Amino acid sequence: MTKLMFVCHGNICRSPMAEFVFKDLAAKRGLSDRFIVASSATSTEEIWNGIGNPVDRRAAATLRQHGVPFDGHRAVQLQKRDYEKYDLFLVMDENNRRNTLRIFGDDPDEKVKKLLGFAGGGSVADPWYSGDFEAAFDDILRGCEALLETMEN
């Protein structure tokens, strides 16, 4: 079983969207039992008194619009101990990569990868600033499809 952790800054937009898009793609291909999939944040900005905020309403609306199911996700912060628990950490952009490495201290097994590195490179558009959740969804879908293709082979 392959354990995947999608990572972004706050764990309310891009990383939970990627978590649920990947789960949906895997389920549609009958591969759900091959993966454990989660998401987390590099910051605590969306976590208050130990309780994380839910998926951003605009991200949730975008997932619904595309028929991607999602559950009662709440933001959680990436922890140093997660490095041993997961096989791959899929970050959305270079800032996420840098902050993930800061949390881990090192990446001796080269587990930290940019999601779009599986689809030709680049960063997942950040809808927090642009408001363009559709662009983020398109990037995430492209990255998750390419990642799943890699994992299938």
Model confidence over 3-54: pLDDT tens digits? 999 999 999 999 999 999 999 999 999 999 999 999 999 999 999 999 999 9
Picking from 101, 90, 100, 98, the residue whose alpha carbon sits closest to that of residue 139 is 90
Q: What is the pLDDT of residue 137?
A: 98
pLDDT tens digit string along 84-103?
Answer: 999 999 999 999 999 999 99
Task: Give residue 152's pLDDT band: very low, low, confident or very high (50, 70, 90).
Answer: confident
Buried b (16+ CB within 10 A) or exposed e, 64-101: eeeebebeebebbbbeeebbeebebbbbbbeebbebbe
Active site residue 13: no
Report the predicted TM-score, pTM, of the whole model to 2 decimal places.
0.97
Q: What is the pLDDT of residue 37?
A: 98
Q: What is the pLDDT of residue 32?
A: 94
DSSP 90: E
Three-class secondary structure assignment of 27-73: HHCCCHHHEEEEEEECCCCCEECCEECECCHHHHHHHHHCCCCCCCC
**Within 13 Å, how many C-alpha atoms sit on residue 65's CB side?**
11
**Catalytic-role residue among 8, 56, 97, 139:** 8
CATH number of 2-152: 3.40.50.2300
How far apart CA 147 and CA 141 sit, in angstroms, is 10
**Catalytic-role residue among 14, 56, 139, 142:** 14
**Catalytic-role residue among 24, 126, 139, 144:** 126
Q: Is the pLDDT of residue 153 over 90?
A: no
pLDDT tens digit string along 89-143?
Answer: 999 999 999 999 999 999 999 999 999 999 999 999 999 989 999 999 999 999 9
